[in-house]
Amino acid sequence: MSLKTLFFLSSDSFHAHVCTNGALAAPCYFSNSADGLERFAEFLRSHEGPAYLLVDLIEEDFRQETVPHLTGANHQALIQRKFDQFYRSTPFRLARLQQRQSEGRRDDELLFSALTNPARISAWLELLLQYKTPIVGIYSVPHASTPLIKDIDSDHLLLLSREKDAGLRQSYFLNKRLRFSRLTPIDPNSSFADAVATETARTHQYLQSLSLTPQGQQLDVHIICHANDRAQLDKHLSNNPDIQYAYLDLQQLGKHIKSPYAYADSDASSLFLHLLAIQPPQANYATPAHTHYFQLWQTQRGLFGLAAATALICLVWSALLFLEGRGINEEIDNFKFQASRMMQEAQQITQKFPSGSANSGGNTASASDMKTAVTLFSSLQHYSVPPEQTLKGLATTLNNFPRIHTNKLDWQMNAASSLPEQVITFNGELADFGNDYRGALNYLERFQLMLTRAGYTVTPVKLPLDFSSKGSIGADIGNSREKPSEFSLKMIWRAQP
């Protein structure tokens, strides 16, 4: 729930409204007396929300100044010098940038304003600070009324409003920027329409004396009023070449800013209060000392929000850890179930083991028997090598020597060795060499070398020609029953341990 406290201070009245979710409660009036200040102190004890102070005083001064364009500390020093020059006796002062000139040095046009009678505010402000009320700011009706004219198409606009406890407020806007404002009390013996007709003419004359409205330029006067006062205003006011009147229906303006307040007459105080609650101006008359408790209030709210966010994050994190823990527990239960099932299967397999010794009871095999069985099984693997594994190296080597033809191939097991051996006898023939016996023998030597690299122990049994000291190279090859190109090799293949 959004809760705010809105204070309205005029020359003769001070009252408070509690604003709950945009709805203003009935006003509480406080007199500027000892009894009124005591009632105001009691009010502050029970209302601790942020406070907005809206003032509508005659003692509000406006000055338009053109100053060099500066930034940072130089700009602040210039503003301070102007404050000391114009408004030395009051802390409630404000400088707002209107625009920067587009030609020449491109100076800044500033509007200086101040509440020149600080005593009118001090008594109420001291109590607000005494009870540590979080004051958001101190605002005036002319500055707060700026949003009301943003949709009005006029370069020279005079906005008129009536505040029952203050008087007739007239604010002049040049190109939608506030330049001047004045407040005049309304004579109880005269009507609202009479006050508008009289004061409008005076303000128009004053603006012309200041050259704010050029000669021949029509002044657009927009009057905030209730529909019941429209007929009387039309009767007393008439357009002329200098002034043109228009009306802003108070009830329609309230609907436009979503105010639930029902306006019974042309008193616009509630309109400005609601506008202040939903769209306060960025700049105001309050000093850092006045808004100190509001800054603390914001910090406290921020810390509460941070603590709530941290608690929420911790809660979500705890929930995630809880869910993750449940998942882990389910996985642990599943692993326990699988382990139990595997133990049962292991027990069933163990019960079926054959008896390995007389002392085993017929249920399990002894460790020595199992070791002997494993050793025998490993040895048997070496004795049962398939021919494909034995002849794989020979087949690969033959693919690389296409001029060697296989005539006969046989092999047998030699079990006398510590590791079983396969003894392979290879009978082949060298083809396409003609009478180049040296080339044939070199070709055969390379063939033997490749077999050795493939893991065989190669021993020549018969070569195509015998070049040893015992051989005879003078024989008649043509009369020999054997072909000179035939040869025989003995190869031994051993299984790796």
CA angle, residues 481, 487, 493, in degrees to nearest 5: 145
Supply 149's token pair: 């004219």
pLDDT on residue 245: 94
Which of the listed CATH numbers 1.10.3720.10, 3.90.550.10, 3.30.420.40, 3.50.50.60 matches domain 3-59+117-290? 3.30.420.40
The pTM (predicted TM-score) of the whole model is 0.64
DSSP label of 264: -
pLDDT on residue 465: 72
For 40, residues 6+ apart whose C-beta sits below 8 A from its C-beta are 14, 16, 30, 124, 127
Q: 119-176: per-residue pLDDT in tens?
A: 999 999 999 999 999 999 999 999 999 999 999 999 899 999 999 889 999 999 999 9
Q: Distance between CA atoms of 439 and 156, rounded to whole angstroms?
A: 120
User: Considering the chain, what percentage of its residues have pLDDT values greater than 70?
Assistant: 90
Q: 467-484: per-residue pLDDT in tens?
A: 555 555 544 444 444 456
Residue 269: name the closest of 341, 167, 186 by CA. Answer: 167
Residue 257: name the closest of 177, 178, 169, 148 by CA. Answer: 148
| Res. 374 pLDDT band, cuts 50 70 90 | confident
CA angle, residues 381, 386, 388, in degrees to nearest 5: 145
Q: Distance between CA atoms of 410 and 413, rounded to whole angstroms?
A: 11
Q: Are strands 177-184 and 167-174 parallel, antiparallel or unpaired?
A: antiparallel
Q: Are 276 and 54 in contact (CB under 8 A)?
A: yes
Strand order in the sheet with 108-115: 60-67, 108-115, 93-100
Domain ranges of the chain: 3-59+117-290, 353-382, 386-494
| Res. 47 pLDDT band, cuts 50 70 90 | confident
| Averaged pLDDT for residues 395-409 | 88
| Res. 390 pLDDT band, cuts 50 70 90 | confident
| Averaged pLDDT for residues 294-306 | 90
Q: What's the CATH number for 386-494?
A: 3.30.1360.100
CA angle, residues 58, 60, 62, in degrees to nearest 5: 135
DSSP string, 26-64: PPEE--SSHHHHHHHHHHHHT--S-EEEEEE-S-EEEEE
Residue 174: name the closest of 140, 206, 198, 146 by CA. Answer: 146
